[in-house]
Amino acid sequence: MLVPTVLAALLLLAPASLRGGPTDLRITVWPKGRPGASVHWTLRCGPPRGTLPHPARACRRLAALAGPFAPVPRDAVCTQIYGGPQIAVVAGRYRGLRVWALFRRSDGCQIARWNRIAFLLPVRT
């Protein structure tokens, strides 16, 4: 009886990125919008590595978020505030699942979505 309890505890203590599969992301940001110069990073979790600054911290923060790459719901009411021309694409695998997410700063909902994962997009906005 002790073995299943210990295994369950270890699973709960394991980083979320390991519980659901690997995280291996390619991040591209166009700080001045497209067309324009872009900046590229990679992030792998379990163990943390990649070209993104502070990959261990980024993996921890990413693991703490629920649905970090989910789109804004179609029925969302968003303020019409323009946050800038910045565009970002995050692609690869997140917890073992394929992901391709486009981020813009075109209205209040999109700005909030961007800000939620801003630690993955370390450029001045």
Over residues 48-103, the pLDDT tens digits come to 999 999 999 999 999 999 999 999 999 999 999 999 999 999 999 999 999 999 99
**How far apart are alpha carbons 2 and 20 in whole angstroms?**
24
Whether 85 is covered by a domain: the verdict is: yes
**How far apart are alpha carbons 71 and 1 in whole angstroms?**
43
Whether 125 is covered by a domain: the verdict is: no
Whether 89 is covered by a domain: the verdict is: yes
**How far apart are alpha carbons 51 and 73 in whole angstroms?**
31
Whether 12 is covered by a domain: the verdict is: yes
State the total domains in the chain.
1
**How far apart are alpha carbons 80 and 91 in whole angstroms?**
27
The CATH number covering residue 15 comes to 3.30.350.10
Whether 42 is covered by a domain: the verdict is: yes
Domain containing 41 equals 2-120
Over residues 38-56, the pLDDT tens digits come to 999 999 998 999 999 999 9
Whether 80 is covered by a domain: the verdict is: yes
